[in-house]
Amino acid sequence: MAPILLLLASLWIAVGSASVASSKNASSDDSHRGQPNFIFIMTDDQDLLLNSLDYQPLVKRHFIDKGTMFQKHFCTVSICCPSRVSLLTGRAAHNTNVTDVAAPYGGYSKFIAEGLNDRYLPVWLQEAGYNTYFTGKLMNGHATDSYDKPYAAGWTRSEFLLDPYTYLYNNASTVLDNGEYTFNPGRYSTDLIAERSVEFLDDAVAGGRPFFLIVNPMAPHAETIFHAETVFQRGGVQHNPPVPAERHEHLFADAQVPRTPSFNPIVPASVKYLNNLEMLTAD
């Protein structure tokens, strides 16, 4: 029986867990017998300190209670794109040279310019005999006008969320298997990712080779709207609260952000621009 190694990670170094379960042997080739299968699930912008896991009992039950919590895990650049590139390359950000979320110091274009598209995890796994699958958000700047310049290497099958519409919960743009990108009006983003993940998992099990599947929904990241004309100006990017699926809207009506010492400090002890921000309210 080939094991499946199931991993859950979260950017901002919030949650990490691993569990091992037996599964139907996906490899009919003796040369691959004993090679584990991998499913890697990564949430976006989830912070362990804000007790979000209190509202996700299934995540806790299946990933944390049955897996491993890494108590000491350090991220050299704890923002989105550099963290994702480090996870996919095994290198710290000062070695990938991807240190920001957008050009010229980060984003998909920087990932390509640094020659990393041929030197990262899915490429190595394919060289080791694996089928590789990806669904969800790859990294910042992987967009409708750049996803094919060039295509992300190393994936047997893929469906990527694409900027600048990655963070729209009910009308995300996606591209399936390096085809033409499409929009998904009225479809909840996480449901799209879940459905495609199950399809890819079925393909992987039937494929006769060991497999690696990444599932990267963008939840619970804020819904982010980019205004093209003013994107690099103050107010050019609009951040709204995460949007629940309609079937979940009634849940957690009384939930609130924990009132830690850093919540609405009278005199911010960090960067000066915080002095100019409005106090947070229940709304």
Active-site residue flag, 80:
yes
Which residues make beta-bridge pairs with 163? 143
* Side chain identity, residue 125: L
The structure tokens listed for 151 are 């295509």
The structure tokens listed for 141 are 């700047």
Task: Give the containing element (helix H, strand E) for 203.
Answer: helix 189-206
Catalytic option among 2, 11, 15, 80: 80
Any idea which residues carry the catalytic annotation? 80
